[in-house]
C-alpha cells in the first residue's frame, strides 16, 4: 500500500491540462507526510506515532504479535467456571493435585528442643493446597514459618538463661554460693517439701505456674526460699548432720540436682 495514497487526496486538473488526472504524491514535498497524518480517529495519529507504526504493515504485524502472545496467557476462571476449567487453571499455575505432592526443606541443624514435627508440615501443606500455591511459594512460606519458630525458640532460651542467672544471684545471697553445703542443704529441704506435698503433681503445677523450668531448674527465687524455710521448719531435724552445716544423702543430692541443674557441677 502506498503511503501517499492514504495521506494525500487525488487532484483533478482542468481540461486545459492535457495530462488529465495526476497524483501529486510524487513530489518532494510529500516526503514529509507520515502514516499517522492520514489517521482521522481521535488520538489515532498520536498513538501510531507512539507505537512507531510507519505504515499499515506495522499495524498488522503488531496485531499478529499480540494475537500470538495472548494464546500463552492463563485465563482466570470466572465464578461460573466448571471444575475442569478450575483444575486446568491450577495446573497451569503449577499447583499440585494433592497436599502430599508438596516437598518442604528443613533448615540444617535445627536448635535442640525446638517444638517442630512432621504434623506441622502436613498442616501447612494442606493450607498451601487450599490457597492454590505452587511448590516454590509453599516452600517459601514453610521456610519463613520455621525461621520464625527458631527465632521464638532462641528468644525463649535467652530469656530462660537470663532468668536462671538472676535466680542464681538471688539464691546465693540467701543460701551462699552454689556448691556449698548450705546451698545444697536448702535445695534438699525445698525438694523434701515438694515430695511430701504432692511430689511430681506439685512439680507439674509449679512448672505450669512458671516457678520451675520444664527442665527442673528453679525460676522463682522467692518461692524457692520460702519452700526451703518451710522445709527447715518441719524437716531440719531429720537432715543428717556432719561437716558443720549438715550434709545430704545421695538421694537428696540427686533430687537437688534435678531441681536445680546449676548445682550439678
Kindly report, residue by residue over 131-175, the tens digit of the pLDDT. 999 999 999 999 999 989 899 989 988 888 888 888 889 989 999
Q: What is the span of the domain harbouring residue 47?
A: 3-70
Neighbours of 156 (CB within 10 A): 12
Same domain, 87 and 61: no
Cα–Cα distance for residue pair 194/175, rounded to 1 Å: 19
What are the tens digits of pLDDT across the range 186-238? 988 988 898 888 888 988 888 888 888 777 778 888 888 998 999 888 876 55
Mean pLDDT value across residues 66-71: 71
Check if the beta carbon of residue 145 is closer than 8 Å to that of residue 107.
no
Measured CA to CA, the distance from residue 225 to residue 244 in angstroms comes to 21
86's grid cell: 478450575
Note whether 10 and 37 are same-domain residues: yes
Instruction: Output 253 or 199, whichever has higher pLDDT.
Output: 199
Does 128 map to a domain? Answer: yes
Q: Classify residue 51: in a domain, yes or no.
A: yes
- Joined grid coordinates for residue 192: 523434701
Q: What is the mean pLDDT of residues 67-82?
A: 74
Long-range contact list for 198-203, CB < 8 A, 24+ apart?
A: none
Shared domain for 102 and 144, answered yes or no, is: yes
What pTM value is reported for the model?
A: 0.52
Mean pLDDT for all residues in the chain = 76
C-alpha cell at 1: 500500500
164 within a domain of the structure (yes/no)? no
Residue-level pLDDT at 118: 78
Looking at the structure, tell me whether residues 123 and 184 fall in a common domain: no
Number of domain units in the chain: 3
The angle, 0 to 180 degrees and rounded to 10, between the axes of the packed helices 135-175 and 118-131 is 140
- My answer on whether 19 and 61 are in the same domain is yes
Q: How far is it, in rounded angstroms, from Cα 8 to Cα 2?
A: 10
**262, 178 Cβ separation under 8 angstroms:** yes
Query: Is residue 223 a part of any domain in this protein?
Result: yes
Looking at the fold, whether 29 and 8 belong to one and the same domain comes out as yes
| Confidence band for 127, pLDDT divided at 50, 70 and 90 | very high
Whether residue 6 is predicted with pLDDT greater than 50 in this model: the reply is no
Residues 6+ apart with CB under 8 A from 60: none
Q: Does some domain include residue 257?
A: yes
Evaluate whether residue 221 is within a structural domain: yes
The pLDDT value given to residue 82: 86
Amino acid at each position: 500500500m502506498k503511503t501517499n495514497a492514504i495521506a494525500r487526496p487525488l487532484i483533478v486538473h482542468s481540461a486545459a491540462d492535457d495530462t488529465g488526472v495526476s497524483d501529486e504524491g510524487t513530489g518532494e514535498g510529500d516526503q514529509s507526510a507520515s502514516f499517522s497524518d492520514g489517521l482521522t480517529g481521535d488520538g489515532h495519529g498520536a498513538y501510531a506515532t507512539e507505537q512507531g507504526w510507519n505504515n499499515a504493515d506495522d499495524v498488522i504485524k503488531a496485531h499478529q504479535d499480540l494475537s500470538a502472545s495472548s494464546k500463552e496467557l492463563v485465563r482466570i476462571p470466572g465464578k461460573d467456571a466448571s471444575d475442569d476449567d478450575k483444575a486446568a487453571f491450577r495446573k497451569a499455575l503449577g499447583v499440585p493435585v494433592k497436599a502430599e505432592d508438596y516437598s518442604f526443606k528443613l533448615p540444617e541443624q535445627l536448635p535442640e528442643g525446638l517444638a517442630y514435627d512432621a504434623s506441622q508440615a502436613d498442616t501447612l501443606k494442606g493450607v498451601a493446597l487450599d490457597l492454590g500455591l505452587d511448590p516454590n511459594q509453599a516452600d517459601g512460606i514453610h521456610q519463613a514459618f520455621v525461621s520464625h519458630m527458631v527465632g521464638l525458640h532462641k528468644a525463649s532460651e535467652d530469656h530462660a538463661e537470663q532468668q536462671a542467672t538472676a535466680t542464681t544471684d538471688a539464691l546465693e545471697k540467701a543460701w551462699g554460693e552454689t556448691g556449698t553445703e548450705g546451698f545444697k542443704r536448702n535445695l534438699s529441704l525445698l525438694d523434701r517439701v515438694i515430695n511430701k506435698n504432692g511430689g511430681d503433681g506439685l512439680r507439674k503445677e509449679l512448672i505450669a505456674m512458671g516457678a520451675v523450668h520444664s527442665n527442673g531448674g528453679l525460676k522463682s527465687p522467692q518461692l524457692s526460699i520460702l519452700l526451703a524455710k518451710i522445709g527447715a521448719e518441719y524437716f531440719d531435724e531429720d537432715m543428717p548432720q556432719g561437716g558443720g552445716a549438715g550434709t545430704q544423702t545421695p538421694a537428696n543430692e540427686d533430687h537437688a540436682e534435678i531441681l536445680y541443674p546449676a548445682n550439678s557441677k
